[in-house]
Structure 1
């Protein structure tokens, strides 16, 4: 800590410059993730991205990245050059603002950048704060301007004839900073050069720039900005690098853009030529804009333009390679632009398959093509450019701007349809080959699934004998099958007649099953009812549960509509939550909803007698009031179902088992918060601790209407 009274250089103005960057030096991980090689590379990307954003706007067609032997790095571009004039209201030059002020720059909707990768305005200033030395040179107006920094503080290094080193004497500006003119250039020449030395107080000596990572990203950037030439010069002479034996230089420039990118990524022989789909669309969104009159941020509706550039091709392979970008930022998690691409792709392909069904010899039993059928062998690069994209999280891995999805889908649908339906002979041949590949993928998928299901059922039957009381279904398509867990043998007899034996299986249970929340693993294994359910589901239990091995697509608990039935359903839910949780998480566990009442309505005139089923007391009273208003008569007393066995097969099928008429309650957990809540509820209601449960019951008793208890 410097003593202001004894050091004249430490002025009030000096404190103002450090105000924002002190936090960066104290907590660098918050800004660059880490202080190892990854953080070092992150700093380099921040400087490179500033140059790339200039090229993205059409200013400057070259960028040079030079890795020096002394550990420093320089990024030079031929863009417009950082502004050298004084920023209104700030009193500092544009160079000082950009490299010393957090959240400052031309990417906040001021019109300088219509689409940019850097949106937070912290990149260059953060790198400056974490550098022992940074030299910024700007070519503008026929001159070369320079400003130097030490740990984010503007000033001058005393170099003389010596080489540039961060250890040179440094004099910070005290009363006012200024740009030094250090050379002359052609009047039309513009650009920015930034050379910096990472601060050894922040980064360990083991942190190094990765040449391979640099090449990978530079090549990717050159693909995404056609005509941009990016050169990497490595003068470090590090072992196991291309420059180990001397300075190494490598340049990247691709005129074909995304088309060249796809050809680079694709590894298999082509089924189609690489197609380019381009277009744009507009949308409106509300943003915070600075109001000059009030001096505050105001909500303003603005119109955005989203530009879409997509290249894709199909190959003979089976792997899918999808690379997505927003303003040349890689989005490995996808987002609205990638989902829009796949939406438009599926719409086009399904339309083509349907219109060519006869030629492809498709049958109705084969169903529709699925996304995996279309994506097999596909290589695609999906890029969009738009102002101020909204990302999910600070890592910028997933695009969250919702309207982009519809815009991309429309562009893909329009442009891809035009290509694949072209009447040119070569294109018609390619389209036919593509459709044949997609249909072959669909048939292979169906065949593999049928083989897997047959093998799974065969192995399950051979390895153990199922309970004799299981009434299995005939279908081998897991997605369509349903297992009804039925309370009592009396209901089982009715359910046998009511079910569709093609896809509905029945497993009766007697009485109340074991409470697995309290029981030990030994007790659970010994319990016949629990063992039967685990065996019939066929996917194991606990940590070894494999949802892909489950023999049924749905598990439906069908219990009586009374207190005992509700208790049995709760015991079954406890079993599934504790030992077959993936089924619950996937939303494949359901509770049947049998009716509580049956109203027998008498016939009148041309109206025939019929039955009305109700599922709650409120619904019953509403239906009765409706009948009275219409002058219809109903038979007294109203039948109240207390057990499934009281229904005949037609009634049970119509109200509870037929997918066309029944109501099911899906049991599922949406997120971790619900998971924790469910854990607490099961422990409270079904656990060993009696006192909390008693307290819960006593507190809840005050909310029970005694008149509603059906006893």
Structure 2
């Protein structure tokens, strides 16, 4: 009866930052490395918002050797005067109160990435320690926090979260809650935030990713022309010289005001100044020569036009076109009336649109969209309006030139227009409506029509231009779009013919396919097996109800440096595509795949790894939706088999290990337990050496096996890696091997 008793006593009321610590995933998405990076983006975005408002042109991001991270800016500095409603200083309000800040329409920010007022306070709540220093009014003010509680750390034995902490007395009010730790020159302002992520919140092994930091800093420098972002990683293992000068735009330097930041920090003292050194004010050429830290500086004066040129990997069909414009819309928002109640009020908003786009000779589409420099990877109303304008305008142009283009009566579709397109779509909107705190989708409805109108007008002006270059480029572009349309229609007709043929002629499947009995594609698996010897064992090990087998002979064709015709003429590649049954390339239809999972099962040696790489290249180039959907796996067969003799009534135990390190650890554990194992230890050189029951237990039985899912975390980066490792250019591959050879651990090589 006690469990059924439900009353007001069972209700919980979380105060202040308790809600954040209780449900961190609600605010930062996850508590792994991705969530850790999201916290850093929140602090960086606050500094960038200051730069967008014209306050400061340089931001420093430092990852210290103790895994703390620090962000320095030259903005106006967080206010340190007293906020009348709470009686707290502006600094404390920003850091401890959810839904509080200067981005709710008070006039401090015309457009910013922050709109929920929870960014800095969420980071504070999820930090074991957070220090803030603010330069304002000729002084450096400091306030520290321990898991969101303001107080003072005793750093006599070193700066860190382990220092003794004393919470502030509630009786201390106003500016007395802040420490004055230094003085700065007249007019010097800025904010420095350094924090240590709380290990009670974030999973073990979560770390700041230098590569992600570089990508974000580079992206921000493209989006905010003239803003300089200096990134430094002082952690052990990050020691490498960085080509800083190459990241700075032509004619740019870091002399002048940049040299003053280190002086101000040093004068301030305290934890934020601890990371300051001579290297922090070095010019790009000097920083490139620094050997004891990973460092890079980003600045691009060309803006998103340079961003498009950076993203585009193919040859150009058109120049990079720039479309800009403004639009207004009205929005009903709740405001606080004089009596304290909320009332609705009509507010006029201005939306600034800036788009850069170009078409290339390739077929892949790259569209990056941003709202107030915040990336929206899942799009939103601004990207929808952009694509809507593209399709509508191109349809009108193709229709108007149908006779010259020989387009007939066929209708251009969105995929025809987007083929080979690289574009960056940015909008600046006061108080945008995002879907969730992670801000991945813009939801403001009026932005769609504004973007569509501005982009459509810009494209019409380009097509109406009398300039020779514009007329030549628009003519070639229309020919490319019509060619894409014709290829799509032809491929669809060919695919329908093949589907009808496959439905009638089941004998068209390769004879070597050992199919399963089930026709339910959602619960079937296809194992691509290396060699006939492994096939024989796998036949006896599989569950024939839902597991199919396709053997391949040796190494398949490297499709990265082969044409589609060569790929289709290769017997092994053609067999794989035929068995999967969903087509290939642009005509690939994942809904027609005959199997839910594709599992590559090769030997645990160098040749097996090479075969897996070639198979992955095939899926990456011609069946990519299978990889994007997480339906491609690599089997993980064991390397060793130990048999531990029976003890008493306990039966003999079989232990499988998957690496040399795991084998040695297992042997050491058995010895500590006083247990023995039979000699010799079985070392599997290939799948064919395993008995059927062993292969089933370790590699094929869903109840016991270990699979490694293949994913595309960063499509752009993955394409570059495949091109370097598997492409036709030998020089980049040789350079990659030579530069990476020093990082190889000889003990991990299976001789």
Tell me, yes or no, whether TM beats 0.5. Answer: yes
Q: Secondary structure at the match of 2:17?
A: helix
Q: Could you tell me how far apart the structure 1 residues matched to 2:125 and 2:503 are?
A: 65
TM-score of the aligned structures, taking structure 1 as reference length: 0.60
Q: Is the 8 A contact 2:239 2:292 kept in 1?
A: no
Q: Is the 8 A contact 2:433 2:444 kept in 1?
A: yes
State yes or no: 1:82 paired with 2:78. Answer: yes
**Which position in structure 1 is the counterpart of 2:719?**
none
Aligned-residue offset at 1:462: 5.0
Once the two structures are overlaid, the 10-residue window that deviates more, 231-240 or 105-114, is 231-240
Q: Could you tell me how far apart the structure 2 residues matched to 1:158 and 1:547 are?
A: 62
Aligned-residue offset at 1:91: 0.9
- Residues 530-562 of structure 1: CA deviation (Å, up to 9, x unaligned): xxxxxxxxx99xxxx996699xxxxxxxxxxxx
CA 77–357 in structure 1, closer or farther in 2 if over 3 Å, else same = same
304, 319, 342: which one aligns with 1:273? 319
465, 470, 473: which one aligns with 1:430? 473
Q: Is the 8 A contact 1:144 1:183 kept in 2?
A: yes
CA 362–77 in structure 1, closer or farther in 2 if over 3 Å, else same = same
State yes or no: 1:65 paired with 2:61. Answer: yes
Q: Secondary structure at the match of 1:451?
A: helix
Aligned-residue offset at 1:353: 1.7
**Which position in structure 2 is the counterpart of 1:385?**
428
**Which position in structure 2 is the counterpart of 1:360?**
405
391, 400, 407: which one aligns with 1:346? 391
446, 452, 456: which one aligns with 1:413? 456
Give structure 2 stretches of 5+ with no counterpart.
Answer: 1-13, 243-289, 508-580, 583-588, 595-751
**Which position in structure 1 is the counterpart of 2:748?**
none
CA 75–393 in structure 1, closer or farther in 2 if over 3 Å, else same = closer
What are the residue-to-residue correspondences of 1:471-490 with 2, within 5 Å?
Answer: none
**Which position in structure 2 is the counterpart of 1:676?**
none
Aligned-residue offset at 1:261: 1.0
Aligned-residue offset at 1:153: 1.7
**Which position in structure 1 is the counterpart of 2:160?**
165
CA 463–43 in structure 1, closer or farther in 2 if over 3 Å, else same = closer
How large is the RMSD of aligned CA atoms in angstroms? 2.6
105, 112, 121: which one aligns with 1:109? 105
Aligned-residue offset at 1:39: 2.4
**Which position in structure 1 is the counterpart of 2:374?**
329
Aligned-residue offset at 1:234: 0.6
**Which position in structure 2 is the counterpart of 1:534?**
none
TM-score of the aligned structures, taking structure 2 as reference length: 0.57
Q: Secondary structure at the match of 1:302?
A: strand
Aligned-residue offset at 1:204: 4.8
317, 331, 346: which one aligns with 1:285? 331
Q: Secondary structure at the match of 1:20?
A: coil
Higher-Rg structure is 1
Q: Secondary structure at the match of 2:441?
A: coil
Q: Is the 8 A contact 1:456 1:549 kept in 2?
A: no
**Which position in structure 2 is the counterpart of 1:191?**
190
CA 149–62 in structure 1, closer or farther in 2 if over 3 Å, else same = same
CA 62–443 in structure 1, closer or farther in 2 if over 3 Å, else same = same
Aligned-residue offset at 1:391: 2.3
Q: Could you tell me how far apart the structure 2 residues matched to 1:41 and 1:453 are?
A: 46
Q: Is the 8 A contact 1:278 1:309 kept in 2?
A: yes
Q: Could you tell me how far apart the structure 2 residues matched to 1:265 and 1:344 are?
A: 22
37, 41, 44: which one aligns with 1:41? 37
Q: Could you tell me how far apart the structure 2 residues matched to 1:453 and 1:378 are?
A: 28
**Which position in structure 1 is the counterpart of 2:46?**
50
Q: Secondary structure at the match of 2:177?
A: coil
Q: Could you tell me how far apart the structure 2 residues matched to 1:394 and 1:128 are?
A: 16
CA 461–197 in structure 1, closer or farther in 2 if over 3 Å, else same = closer
**Which position in structure 2 is the counterpart of 1:703?**
none
- Residues 221-261 of structure 1: CA deviation (Å, up to 9, x unaligned): 11111111111111112369879962121011111111111
**Which position in structure 2 is the counterpart of 1:307?**
352
CA 68–461 in structure 1, closer or farther in 2 if over 3 Å, else same = closer
**Which position in structure 2 is the counterpart of 1:441?**
484
- Residues 644-683 of structure 1: CA deviation (Å, up to 9, x unaligned): xxxxxxxxxxxxxxxxxxxxxxxxxxxxxxxxxxxxxxxx
Q: Secondary structure at the match of 1:66?
A: strand
Q: Is the 8 A contact 1:211 1:241 kept in 2?
A: no
- Residues 49-99 of structure 1: CA deviation (Å, up to 9, x unaligned): 111111122221111000111221110001111011111221111111111
State yes or no: 1:247 paired with 2:293. Answer: yes
Q: Is the 8 A contact 2:240 2:292 kept in 1?
A: no
Q: Secondary structure at the match of 2:345?
A: strand
Aligned-residue offset at 1:458: 4.2
Q: Could you tell me how far apart the structure 1 residues matched to 2:590 and 2:229 are?
A: 49
Aligned-residue offset at 1:437: 0.9
Give structure 1 stretches of 5+ with no counterpart.
Answer: 1-17, 465-538, 551-711
Q: Could you tell me how far apart the structure 1 residues matched to 2:65 and 2:506 are?
A: 67
Q: Is the 8 A contact 1:337 1:404 kept in 2?
A: yes
Aligned-residue offset at 1:159: 2.8
**Which position in structure 2 is the counterpart of 1:295?**
340
Once the two structures are overlaid, the 10-residue window that deviates more, 147-156 or 162-171, is 162-171
Q: Could you tell me how far apart the structure 2 residues matched to 1:459 and 1:247 are?
A: 60
Aligned residues: 452
**Which position in structure 1 is the counterpart of 2:530?**
none
What are the residue-to-residue correspondences of 1:648-687 with 2, within 5 Å?
Answer: none
Q: Is the 8 A contact 2:28 2:437 kept in 1?
A: no
CA 21–450 in structure 1, closer or farther in 2 if over 3 Å, else same = closer
